Amino acid sequence: MRQTLALATVVTTAALALGGCASVPTQLAGNDFAAVTPKQAASQSAHGTRVRWGGEIIKVEPKAENTCFEVLSRALYPDARPRRHDGSDGRFIACSKGFYDPAVYTKGRDLTVTGSVAGTEQHRVGEFEYTYAHVDADNVYLWPKRDYANAYYDPWRPYYGDPFWNPYWGGGWWTPPIVIVRDPPHH
């Protein structure tokens, strides 16, 4: 009985600890956001639609009363952090009241915003005339830098997964090993 209780306590504690790591930052929380991408918002009438978008900062431009961010959109993880991959859902511009220092909000950093689509803007990307979705952001969240120094190689990762991809279980296909990157906790 004591062993069962101890095991239940360990499992519950581990589940709570892992659940806490994947929680959405308070200012980004909610479920009243439309499932529309920046690319879709730029090509259709999405004015007034509430969105939670994120991605990689391309440029930051402080103005007299607000700061505008040009962002390369990325799909979001369940905790609302932008995913790092080669694809993109388009670019968008998010403007928020106040001053955000470009020395802190630097190119390449992960950013997630919430707000309402306020139309589109035309700007050049190289020689191409690009249509950006414009968001009036009420929340701007700069994610901590990813800590690649804590990355590690897990050679056993291919062996505990789907039997189809697992040579140990007879699937015959071998997937490349996965490198796991531990992000610093964000609360």
CB-CB contact of 134 with 120 (8 Å): yes
pLDDT for 19 equals: 46
| pLDDT recorded at residue 151 | 55
Sign of CA dihedral 71, 114, 54, 35: negative
The whole-number pLDDT of residue 12 equals 46
Map out the domains of the chain as residue ranges.
Answer: 26-142, 148-180
Residue 45 makes CB contacts below 8 A (sequence gap 6+) with: none
Calpha distance 103→177 (Å, rounded): 36
List the CATH code of the domain at 26-142. Answer: 2.40.50.140
Give this prediction's pTM.
0.67
Mean pLDDT for back-to-back runs of 10 residues, the chain (187 residues)? 48 46 81 89 87 95 95 92 86 95 95 93 89 94 78 53 50 52 56
Element (H, E) at 11: helix 2-21
